[in-house]
Structure 1
Amino acid sequence: MKTVKLSLGGLLLATTAMVAPGVALAQTAPTTQTPAQQAEPQVDQGAELGEVVVLGRYIPQPNRESPEVAAFLTAEDLERTGDADAAGALARVTGLSVVEGRFIYVRGLGERYSSALLNGSPLPSPEPLQRVVPLDLFPSEILSGLTVQKTYSVAYPGEFGGGVVDLQTIDTPAEPFFSMQASVSGNTETSGKDALIYFGSRTDFTSFDDGTRDVPGPLQLGFATGQRISAGNFSASQLRQMGQSLVNAPLRLLQRETTPANFGLRFTGGTSTETSFGTLGGVFVASYDNSWTGRNGIRQSGRLDAGQFVTANDYAFQSNQNDLTLNFLGALSLTSDTSTLKWTNLYVRNVTKEARSEAGFDDASGGQRRTDNTEWFVRQLYSTQLTGEHSFGATGEWEFDWRAGYALTSRDAPYETRFGYGQNVAGDWIHDIETNAISFSELDDDIVSAGADLHYTLPLSDAREAVFSVGVAYSDNNRESEQRTLRFIAPNGLSADQLESRVDYLFSDINIGPYLQLEEITGTNGAAAFDGQLKTMAAYAQVAAEVIPLVNLNLGVRFEQGEQTVTPRDLFGGTTGFLPTEIDENYVLPAGTITWNFAEDMQLRFGASKTIGRPQFRELAPQQYTDVESDRTFIGNPYLVDTEILNLDARWEWYFARDQFVTAGVFYKDLDKPIESSVIDQGSSISQTFLNAPNATIMGAEIEAKKYFEFGSDMDFIANKRWLVQANYTWSDSEVNVKDGDTVITQNSLGVAQPASFYVIDGSRLQGQSEHVANVQLGWEDDTARSQATLIANYVSERTSARGRPGEPDLIQEPGISLDFVFRKDFDYAGREYGFAVQLRNLLGEEFLEYQEQGGNRVIINGYDLGTSGSVSLTARF
């Protein structure tokens, strides 16, 4: 091979001159390097080079190893921002925004177009309306980091639109440790305020009730018969017994009480030891949180009146929500020179206890109405996972990785109660016996998954190599959902005294039987229960190679077979009237990324791929569901089909110093038949359903920068600190495209195609997409004082939350600006190390706002003040 004698500096100068004159202004890389960088071979000036090669030795290790456009959050990042869970932490990533505090929108695409993995394995969701697991279930203390990959690689599942979020749990430590943390927090809209409550059970504070909410025995026997609870199927004495068995005052009566402060406890520990088989280690995290959220706001609806959009319903509401969370993570690992085995177990229990009341003008009745609700929602997630990493061969050129996991989520909602009121001539609230309801619902969702990857590294020269990879993946996701709803009727009417009585007096045992009769109003024809299954099998092949010096190519193809079914079940043994919905598709999904590392600290990436998006189970099920967050009814559409997506990306990256960089990129996506939510008339009520819009495109640009500053000064406050400036901004623009002749099929049309223009406006914004998303972090680190402070700002512009009914404007959300401040300080006391932290959230007092607007008239669909939150925590380390 012909050798070239060229200094490294000369080589860089020649390379950058070929790229662009401006690149020659790049700063010289600092001498301070990470251990990974220091381990890389150094080239002396004047050395004989067998091949002209420059590796990106100043590019951070994760970014260098990943051939895709990706963002990485480390444990240090999670600590700096102080976010309590994965959802909050991901809101700081370029192009990401958080919806409802739980779901991640990547590049303006809704949560349906993103997937979440735990250590590479898929997760089920306990949410009725989503198949994507809500990321607020994962506390930040169990995470060692998060990866958000925005360009597709074939090793990941084919359901990919905005990105994939891979949550990595903490590993076993090299040194034993144990820490305890206690925290106290409050909110200006909640803490110390007079708010609605209901008693519940004596053990609610533990997140487990004492059996009060169990389905009563007589009612269980009635359900077990397979017959509707009604006078036609049961005797009067049986109905009286079932009605009297329902818990009354503790679960029905709304009261007022001063809301206490929030508090939390966390315990973390780990150790490792050497054995004859390798290093055996273990780590655990356990936590408990008890928090309150109070809301006082407005909920309205609009309608067209003589061509004008006007306010219809106009309600004020009060809500008080107690969230109780238990988390436990336990992991074991065994590591040797050539193998690593890990067993990770995660349990999360999140309980929401809510009391809510809304009152105001009801357009349908033309008078004042009030509705009171009490609710108890139990969301649980259990995941167990085995993984292995093995290397073999003379030089470790072969690598074999495998994983197997089982995850189960559930959502149990017993005793969802709803009681309606009207007004008498004197203006007093009286019971509207026709609108009371008590529901019991259950949802179970599990995934069995497995995968294996084989990698072979082939040297191409002394400095270049190619990695060939093949892999297989399997997952089987099953969901069962069921809801039973009952109410009391008064066949012979009620007296004025009874109608004006307190709710627990009216539904006391003395009135059940003589005046009130229990009946079931559970929907038939599959409207109350369904089974869903999504089974995928996939295989992929990929090659990643430095095809020529400085140019890396990652090229692969994935074959994925997916079979999704949703089968409505009639709880009373009848036919549903709906055939099982089945989507059975095979896809060939290619993906390629080329990276040009044209300087030690710069590189360009170009990527293209084809991916898919699938409807979620609830979206396919013709079953009504009321979302407690919005008090809105949703109904599925069994005629939905998959979305096919073309993805194009380009990004420039400049890592001019350790942990400091500037990146800029552009992206484009073309979505064939994207799924969107639409508001429709469902009988006499208004509901949201789902449809496939004909086509949509989204394009955008991203820029991100991170820079540290140090200043010389006689003042220790300035001289001892390293100052941080970090910012990112994403601009995106989307359009839903409707042409003449385009059609859609809605749930109401029963399979008959209808003009798409009747439901979707050509040129309208893609649902969930915000034009502007920006994050800024300003802070400092002081190693001498062992302190850190960060001011964090997040801005998300308005986005469409749902399509309006034909002729009406879309529903718009305005997330606005969130300003947070986090301060941390470590100190020693009595020979022990402690950590103190203060967090202030939403300092600007931004509100939640969702509205429709047309002709200068704004209808507030949902609006309330979020308040400013503050927390103080103390951590003891052992």
Structure 2
Amino acid sequence: MKKFSISKIFLSMTLIMLTAISAWAQNGKIIGKVSDKSFNEPIAGLPVVVKGSQKVAPTNVDGRYELSLAPGTYTLEFKYISYKTKTVAEVEVKAGKVTELNVVMDDAATELGEVVVTSSYKKETVNALYSLQKNNISISDGISAEIIKKTPDKSTSDVLKRVSGTSVQDNKFVIVRGLNDRYNVTTLNNSLMLSTEPDRKAFSFDAIPSNLVENVMINKTASPDMPGDFAGGIVQITTKDIPDENFITINLGTGFNSQSTFKPFKGSKKGKFDWLTIEDGTRELPSTIPSQVNSSYSNEQRYQFGRDLQNDWGVLNQGNGIPSTGLQFTLGNNKKFKNNSILGSVFSLSYRYQENLTTTGRGDYDNIGQVYNYNDDQFKYSSALGGIFNLAYTYKDNKISLKNFYNRNLDNAHTDRTGANYDGTPSSVLGNTEYTSQKGFWSSQLEGEHLVGASNIKLDWNLNYTNARRSEPDLRRMLYSKPLEDVDDPSVPYTASVGGSPSPNYGGKFYSDLKDDVYGANGYISVPFTFLKNKSLLKFGYMGYYKQRDFSSRVLGYITSNGFEYNLLSLPQDQIFDDANIRPGGFQLGELINGTYKYAADANLNAGYLMFDNNLSKKVRLVWGLRTEAYNQSLKTRTIDNLHAQQYDLSKFDLLPSANLTYKVNDKSNARLAYSRTVSRPEFREVSPFSFYDFSISTTIYGNPNLTSSNINNVDVKYEWYPSAGQVLSISGFYKGFANPIEQVVVPGLSGVNRARSFQNVDKAVNYGIEAEIRKDLTFISKAAWAHNFIVFANASLIDSKVDVLDSKRNIIGSRPLQGQSPYLINAGLQFSGMENSLNMSLMYNRIGRRINEVGVPGEYEDVYENTRDVVDFQVSKKLFKSNAELKLTASDLLNQKASFYQDVNKSKSFDKSDNVIGSSVFGRSFSLAFSYTFK
């Protein structure tokens, strides 16, 4: 009997627990953020009350709140001192779903007594979107995660070309308002990101997968709390933080390129783990090779060194190109504790692999005529592995976050070249190069947000570390030639261009390693106060970093020895450097000794600022202040003959005032006026005398130690109208005056295959233009229900710039645009969302005006322009399985237009047959299919 009673009790308790768990499982959540209307600042400690119940959830330091409720419709009350009480009705909660409700609080009325504002769920959601769009401090443009999902974009570089006034160069470098990529600054989760490239001042945005991004914002005007080293824009990237709910998402994708997939591929021997972005040592120098192969070693020793290098010069058939592969795993967790503290985390791991074949025509010209005419086929193998791991903990008025981002890429490219060289004795050439680049990028930030005291003083701080590494192991080049007049005579063999001294261009091997370490810190205190009976904010803070770079490279090359047997030069590439041919009368190994092939550099920045955010009236807001930046840079290397040390230093202290004035025309529109002074400093590579031969453009690139900083005065105006949530119509104008702008230029006095490029300060330049943007549904065409499902968007820019062209005696002989500046930019598209937002389609169009790619030499070498090109992309996606899954089909570059670079010989300002074609590439059309599923 007793046993039976215990069994009944156990069964009853089990049923009760299962019922409770089932009831809990059927609950839904209301999650949102409460912000101040004046500044868009979060409000902490505000109690969110569910009317008619005992449910209360206070907001944390982020202004976030969370309520777990049974399915139903509720009314929420938001009440806090110095704000109008707000009640929001018709908030629907569905079982197992999250309802997001962001609320904007209005300042309290001046009259006595409580003022209650009543709103609906739909109305308040629209109001919150308005506030975010309208109350930015500076003139800016951005794109959210929700919009990113509806585009065909796989990387952040693809996303950025959709932003107003923005274009992308080389598929990874951003250009804002027509200014070269060196004039932009990037921040990742509030940490300053410096250059990722060894040969330019630029951040490579293709390293960041778009689906790891929460939002991207480009600030086009400065404010005291922003870095001062920019002229185009500050690109702010934020990765995902605390998720609204627990989830696991798996993404699988594959892709096809019309020019590459299933087509024959060539290349050299690959490492076993190339597909995992890991170089397994296949391309490393053997340990028997000394740190420098110089004349202190005997001929016999140098023969042996040559034999120790593996004979990897042969070109192999790698089979047919395979479809691209993309995988991603994302885990989000949100744990709420009894004391209302929340621990959230996001972990994501992504992988992609692709093979691309690009066909390119290359040429060059001098005053006599054509120098060379080549046809290149580049077979590129790319793998990327990346991820984020973000942790955040909120407790009362505090939040601590640890954000980590990692990306690793391995690119291997084999280029086959055929064509003719007319520089000197005309010859037919056969050449190839094998290039491998391994890049690793790690960024970590520890940051805190704290509210201090009852007056809502806010303290924010950030400690960050970034490590970037790039290695180029075993870059090798080979060129065979024979007289052009004998091109059809099989009895005349092609002979290898190997001579008596090591060369990076012919039978040479290049190795380099670059490592950057950046240690940074920033913090600020914001103090609210009242000015002219309106809310204002005082903000002051500090930002600093220390960057250290170590760069080393080596050029090894086979050379002919005494009594050389010239018949060896006609051996095929896979046999010419066999061990049997590395001997007296054959080849030996040498090294090109150059003191500039290594350098060590460091830079430190200490910046402080004071900023006032004043509401001068209900309609006028002025954000103004002063930023100071003290910058020191030092680069140490040696002379070309390696006999003496040399050092280049740059120190500068800058005062950078700025002011942003906003006039609230009405509840839906603003007029803005801004002024700022900014700087642009030379990057390590731009001042380093290290020279590198770029096989693809047959040009040597080296730095200029005499570069100085640029100063820029910026003026901006903008009118913006927000007819409804998520819709905008705006027009803006800007003017920028440069002193000593930095550009990459062709070096005078060199021609043909000896062409070189470097960097220089231009005396002065101006850049000005207008931008317009529209994002609107089609209700202006029809009032029918279908019109609400279509969004048309477009942004366009008209830009002009002027740089004085000087002759050798520094006389002004004309003018030209700034390098990289396009006269116009166009982004447009049509988006459809239907079936309760489960079916989405997007058609995208992008076009840029021609821009100077290489600044030439007056009277000696014409400027090289990049021709305009139309790009059309399409995407359709469908949510499945109760919206837990999504199937996405993407088509990119549907027109597949040729990318061309040319010299405008006839000055027609357009590309035609009479112009000199310097380069032209075709990339093929790409199609991809992706499937994702989210477990909640």
- The two structures have a TM-score, normalised by structure 2, of 0.82
> Who is 1:458 aligned against?
529
Confirm or deny: 8 A CA contact 2:792 2:831 kept in the other structure. yes
Confirm or deny: 8 A CA contact 1:544 1:552 kept in the other structure. yes
Match of 2:757 among 682, 688, 696: 688
Match of 2:306 among 243, 249, 266: 243
Whole-Å separation in 2 of the counterparts to 1:487 and 1:861: 29
Match of 1:602 among 664, 669, 673: 669
> Who is 1:403 aligned against?
462
What is the CA distance between 1:117 and its match in structure 2?
0.6
What is the CA distance between 1:501 and its match in structure 2?
2.5
> Who is 2:874 aligned against?
821
What is the CA distance between 1:497 and its match in structure 2?
5.5
Confirm or deny: 8 A CA contact 1:252 1:374 kept in the other structure. no
> Who is 2:820 aligned against?
768
Residue-by-residue CA offset, 1:123-177 (whole Å, 9 max, x unaligned):
2333112233211111112210011000011111110101100110101213111
> Who is 2:324 aligned against?
262
Match of 2:360 among 289, 292, 297: 297
- Runs of 5+ consecutive residues of structure 1 not aligned to the other structure: 1-30, 50-54, 744-753
Whole-Å separation in 1 of the counterparts to 2:750 and 2:210: 45
Letter in 2 for 1:374: E
Residue-by-residue CA offset, 1:808-850 (whole Å, 9 max, x unaligned):
320100241110001111101xx89321001111111122111
Whole-Å separation in 2 of the counterparts to 1:785 and 1:399: 39
Whole-Å separation in 1 of the counterparts to 2:787 and 2:773: 27
Whole-Å separation in 1 of the counterparts to 2:666 and 2:114: 20
2:384 is the alignment partner of 1:322:
no
Structure 1 residues 241, 491: closer, same or farther in 2, change over 3 A? closer
> Who is 2:894 aligned against?
843
Match of 1:432 among 493, 497, 504: 497
> Who is 2:932 aligned against?
875
2:514 is the alignment partner of 1:443:
yes
What is the CA distance between 1:479 and its match in structure 2?
1.6
2:445 is the alignment partner of 1:385:
yes
What is the CA distance between 1:518 and its match in structure 2?
3.6
Whole-Å separation in 1 of the counterparts to 2:635 and 2:202: 17
Whole-Å separation in 1 of the counterparts to 2:445 and 2:640: 35
Whole-Å separation in 1 of the counterparts to 2:779 and 2:593: 66
Confirm or deny: 8 A CA contact 1:710 1:722 kept in the other structure. no
Match of 1:561 among 585, 610, 630: 630
Structure 1 residues 140, 481: closer, same or farther in 2, change over 3 A? same
Whole-Å separation in 1 of the counterparts to 2:916 and 2:593: 31
Q: Secondary structure at the match of 1:238?
A: helix
Q: Secondary structure at the match of 2:686?
A: helix
What is the CA distance between 1:39 and its match in structure 2?
4.7
Structure 1 residues 373, 134: closer, same or farther in 2, change over 3 A? same
Letter in 1 for 2:899: F
**Bigger shift: residues 666-675 or 35-44:** 35-44
Residue-by-residue CA offset, 1:591-630 (whole Å, 9 max, x unaligned):
0010001200111000001000111211111111234664
> Who is 1:184 aligned against?
254
Confirm or deny: 8 A CA contact 2:350 2:387 kept in the other structure. yes
**Bigger shift: residues 704-713 or 775-784:** 704-713
Match of 1:207 among 277, 280, 298: 277
Confirm or deny: 8 A CA contact 2:433 2:695 kept in the other structure. no
**Bigger shift: residues 257-266 or 694-703:** 257-266
> What does residue range 653-672 of structure 1 map to in structure 2 within 5 Å?
653-672=720-739
Q: Secondary structure at the match of 1:484?
A: strand
> Who is 2:391 aligned against?
332
Residue-by-residue CA offset, 1:750-775 (whole Å, 9 max, x unaligned):
xxxx6345xx8532111111011011
Confirm or deny: 8 A CA contact 1:239 1:517 kept in the other structure. no
> Who is 1:810 aligned against?
863
What is the CA distance between 1:709 and its match in structure 2?
3.1
Match of 2:740 among 648, 673, 698: 673
- Runs of 5+ consecutive residues of structure 2 not aligned to the other structure: 1-88, 92-99, 116-123, 500-505, 907-912
Structure 1 residues 711, 66: closer, same or farther in 2, change over 3 A? closer
Structure 1 residues 713, 637: closer, same or farther in 2, change over 3 A? closer
Match of 1:481 among 530, 551, 569: 551
What is the CA distance between 1:386 and its match in structure 2?
0.5
What is the CA distance between 1:786 and its match in structure 2?
0.8
Match of 2:139 among 63, 66, 69: 69
> What does residue range 270-285 of structure 1 map to in structure 2 within 5 Å?
270-275=332-337, 278-285=341-348
Residue-by-residue CA offset, 1:733-758 (whole Å, 9 max, x unaligned):
111135xxx89xxxxxxxxxx6345x
Structure 1 residues 713, 801: closer, same or farther in 2, change over 3 A? closer
Structure 1 residues 218, 400: closer, same or farther in 2, change over 3 A? same
Whole-Å separation in 1 of the counterparts to 2:110 and 2:631: 54
Match of 1:864 among 910, 915, 921: 921
Letter in 2 for 1:431: A
Letter in 2 for 1:315: Y
Confirm or deny: 8 A CA contact 1:58 1:656 kept in the other structure. no
Whole-Å separation in 2 of the counterparts to 1:95 and 1:329: 29
Whole-Å separation in 2 of the counterparts to 1:42 and 1:82: 45
Residue-by-residue CA offset, 1:68-97 (whole Å, 9 max, x unaligned):
101121111111113111111010011000
Q: Secondary structure at the match of 2:857?
A: coil
Structure 1 residues 832, 787: closer, same or farther in 2, change over 3 A? closer
Query: Computing the radius of gyration over CA atoms, which structure comes out larger, 1 or 2?
Result: 2
What is the CA distance between 1:500 and its match in structure 2?
3.0
Whole-Å separation in 1 of the counterparts to 2:783 and 2:830: 22
Whole-Å separation in 2 of the counterparts to 1:177 and 1:876: 10
Q: Secondary structure at the match of 2:150?
A: helix
Whole-Å separation in 1 of the counterparts to 2:781 and 2:826: 31
> What is the RMSD of the two structures over their aligned residues, measured on CA atoms?
2.8
Match of 2:479 among 409, 416, 420: 420
Letter in 2 for 1:875: S
Residue-by-residue CA offset, 1:428-457 (whole Å, 9 max, x unaligned):
433222321011111111211101100001
Match of 1:373 among 427, 433, 451: 433
Match of 1:287 among 329, 332, 350: 350
> Who is 1:724 aligned against?
791
Structure 1 residues 508, 274: closer, same or farther in 2, change over 3 A? same
Confirm or deny: 8 A CA contact 2:279 2:438 kept in the other structure. no
Structure 1 residues 44, 792: closer, same or farther in 2, change over 3 A? farther
Confirm or deny: 8 A CA contact 2:532 2:617 kept in the other structure. no
What is the CA distance between 1:549 and its match in structure 2?
2.2
Match of 2:702 among 615, 618, 635: 635
Whole-Å separation in 2 of the counterparts to 1:348 and 1:656: 40
Whole-Å separation in 1 of the counterparts to 2:575 and 2:390: 52
Structure 1 residues 824, 340: closer, same or farther in 2, change over 3 A? same
Q: Secondary structure at the match of 2:211?
A: helix
Letter in 2 for 1:229: V
> Who is 2:7 aligned against?
none
Letter in 1 for 2:168: V
Match of 2:163 among 78, 84, 93: 93
Residue-by-residue CA offset, 1:93-129 (whole Å, 9 max, x unaligned):
1100000011111101111110001111112333112
Confirm or deny: 8 A CA contact 1:531 1:569 kept in the other structure. no
> Who is 2:293 aligned against?
229
Whole-Å separation in 2 of the counterparts to 1:714 and 1:644: 51
Structure 1 residues 527, 756: closer, same or farther in 2, change over 3 A? farther
What is the CA distance between 1:785 and its match in structure 2?
6.6
Residue-by-residue CA offset, 1:390-437 (whole Å, 9 max, x unaligned):
1122142x0000001010111100100111101275354332223210
Structure 1 residues 672, 42: closer, same or farther in 2, change over 3 A? same
Letter in 2 for 1:755: K
